[in-house]
Structure 1
Amino acid sequence: MTIRTFWHLILKTIGIWLFIQGLLSLPAMIYTLIDALANPFSRSIALVEVAYFILAVAFYALILQFLILKSQWTIDSLRLEKGFEQTRIDLTVPYGKLLRIVIILIGGIVFIKAIPHLVENVYLFIIGDLTFSQSPRTLNLIIYSAQAIVGFLVMTNSDIVQRYINKKSGEAESKQLDKEDF
């Protein structure tokens, strides 16, 4: 594997992790935004929440664009491959399989982190004896259910995620990285 390919893998791994974390925080941000907009007494808080929501969505869109889809441009712009004495790192795994392993690991970590919280909140919801709309656990149930579902889907559909990343990254970059053996 070349140093450039190594950086592709690192940037895409970090980008996928950050993007999934952004998706997982989206329900809480939407809930906070709706709550702030519903409060008629505090327009300044609503404006701050709207600005925060827009900035967060823009940040995660930039993460998707520059760390996952345009990693070649990011490597060139930051000159990440400069200063390395060796130009190759010896591994025997194709790039596609390595990226798929990374995607499965990220999905698994998200899933494993969400399950204990989900079980805890389901238990507390059941013993609370309140309706779904009245329970203070409702938002946590929704958030941790969404996290578990997203983690499971990313983990089990890693080939679809990998094909999407390769398709959006560009044909030239994908073909070049697939030819290399690690």
Structure 2
Amino acid sequence: MIEAELKARVHSPEAVTRQLDERAAARVEVYQDTYYDRGDGSLEKADQELRVRTVHGTDGRRTVLTYKDAAVDEASGSKPEHETLVDDSEAAHAILQGLGYVPVIAFQKRCRNYEFEVGGRRMLATLVQVPEIEGTFLEVETLVDEDQVEAALDDIRAVLAELGIGPDDLTRETYTGAVAARRR
């Protein structure tokens, strides 16, 4: 499946939060993300990602192992995504390191997640704050087959427009890149 996704900088977080609160119930969570690569950086060079994410929320804690392949849509950065739940986060880190992967960067994301349906698609809208990066971001995503990416992105653009987010607000900046730049 392809994670069709657009990300934007939010200039009026309170207004967007109010609108999303009217659309769906919020799930407030904190993500602890650790990104891995091979020692030669070949995953990053190939536009691939390998991540262990531990999610802390009101309903407990869960860990997800994620692999994202290279983008299939360059404008949005939408990528094939494969995820699985992991019972033991420490074991997941140990396995990846034992296989020769090295942690490249780790950081926290504070998220307010909203799940809803648009045009028959399950959407996830996430308001994101990363303590090391100034501002608030909004990610809107849905999982689709590759032949549905463009139509899904159109649906996502419509959701963003309803929230007052325009094309000029969109960004391809990654959290990993922004955090790394901040730490330099």
In the superposition, the TM-score normalised over structure 2's length comes to 0.24
Normalized per residue, which structure has more helix?
A: 1
Normalized per residue, which structure has more strand?
A: 2
| Bigger Rg, which one | 1
